[in-house]
Amino acid sequence: MNRIIPVATIALGLLLAGTTGLFAQPVSPEDAAYGAADYATYCATCHGRDGKGNGPKAGRGNKPADLTVLSQNNGGQFPFIRVYNLIEHGGETRQHKRDGMPAWGELFAGENSPMNPETALDTKINDLIEYLRSIQVKNKPPSQTK
């Protein structure tokens, strides 16, 4: 898995140049649609169809996160780097537990076979992030968040 880190880091830098500079950048509907399909395939079992963490595999060990409040919990800004790394490397970047968030880097790098692995990985994660950005709840006043 380590083999893909440097390339992903470079790709991430390029992505960030496009993402953080304009963090109000609108979601790309086309990318988000690809991301939604992948989300249904890989993520909904734990995080739920609605992203709120109540999928059929939720509840054993770690509780899957509510993915609709990532921006809200980060001062209204989508935590791009953290989410990108977490999808690629799994929950070991936080706490490695059984039933924790799996790593998807190797699987994604092997898909979309006409693409090279780095592009395939990067495309998958980016599309997923576009989808996740599209399901963020609007910020609530701080008094209502907890």
From 2-10, 20-28, 42-50, 136-144, give the range in contact with ligand HEC by CB under 6 A. 42-50
Q: Does 83 bind ligand HEC (CB under 6 A)?
A: yes
CB hemisphere CA count around 60 (13 angstroms):
9
Q: Does 64 bind ligand HEC (CB under 6 A)?
A: yes
Residue nearest to ligand HEC (CB): 91
Q: Does 100 bind ligand HEC (CB under 6 A)?
A: yes
Is 90 within 8 Å of 100 (Cβ atoms)? yes
Taking the CB of residue 91, how many other CB atoms lie within 10 A of it? 16
CB-count exposure of residue 127 (10 Å: 0-12, 13-18, 19+): buried
- Name the site residues for ligand HEC (rule: CB under 6 A): 42-43, 45-47, 57, 62, 64-65, 67, 70, 83, 86-87, 91, 94-95, 99-102, 104, 128
